[in-house]
Structure 1
């Protein structure tokens, strides 16, 4: 099993609330997370009288924006400590149009990667290849399919005999139709790729 991955190390969460309703500004659109982050960083980088806070603000990186106005920021540990201290002393400045309701440490979000099989089901490979070729309007023949597979799956050498054995099975199962007219005749819940 793969080792867990830390997704949000060294992060702070800032819970923000708007000073006025978004509709009160003549139907102005709700600002996105990156815009709010830039406004927060700019507001604190302007504190020339507090060089530690200004320097810490310039080292911040945008980590994310959650619904309900939660801004996630990332920085080196020393810079995060400066932000914590500024919050405790009520010196941390909010982004324009907002007020900071709370600041807190975010425990690292842990992701456990799901391992994939090293094998791809052959039917899936052939169906995806034919679908991709149809999407780019390439006529699908055994030869063009073989060329497509060799280009996109270069490690496999036995494509030719595999294609011949599966070609008829796919058509018999009516997964693929010979023409677009025949495709319309087949009752199916989703579009069926076709080949020649």
Structure 2
């Protein structure tokens, strides 16, 4: 027994089909057309949920778009050398109508992808970057403080001993601070 193919009763034109695809690609379109003045609380709840879901998904898309733009900008930046006539990379940004601050925000996303990859939205990614920058500044400040404490040693030597140290340092081909460091390290190593 052969099976008959069923033909749909309603045919759709290509223009109508494109409209259906566009509506499916942009879930906010049907929400724009709703008259909310006479909507019930249940209908408004559905509208809010659909709009919120669209908003959340678009924020995730914004983060992905920012990462892609940042990677492309990094690649483009490598191809530029500064030219007074064209302005180099910054001149190119002006020509493609992307502000310098936006471009560098995209670049920051791309260069810190491991930090922002767990974020669900662009704003969450930017918060993570801000927190990372603050942690890095605190860590750097702590390291600088430690290094400064380590370097600040004042020795009061007689002129004769100071000249002797300078002569020894010259003979070894190092500066006085390097010589002092070597002497102190040797002395510390000899201590029990």
Q: What is the TM-score when the length of structure 1 is the normalising length? A: 0.21
Larger radius of gyration: 2
Which structure's residues are more often strand, by fraction? 1
Which structure's residues are more often helix, by fraction? 2
Higher relative contact order (CA 8 A, sep 6+): 1
Q: What is the TM-score when the length of structure 2 is the normalising length? A: 0.21
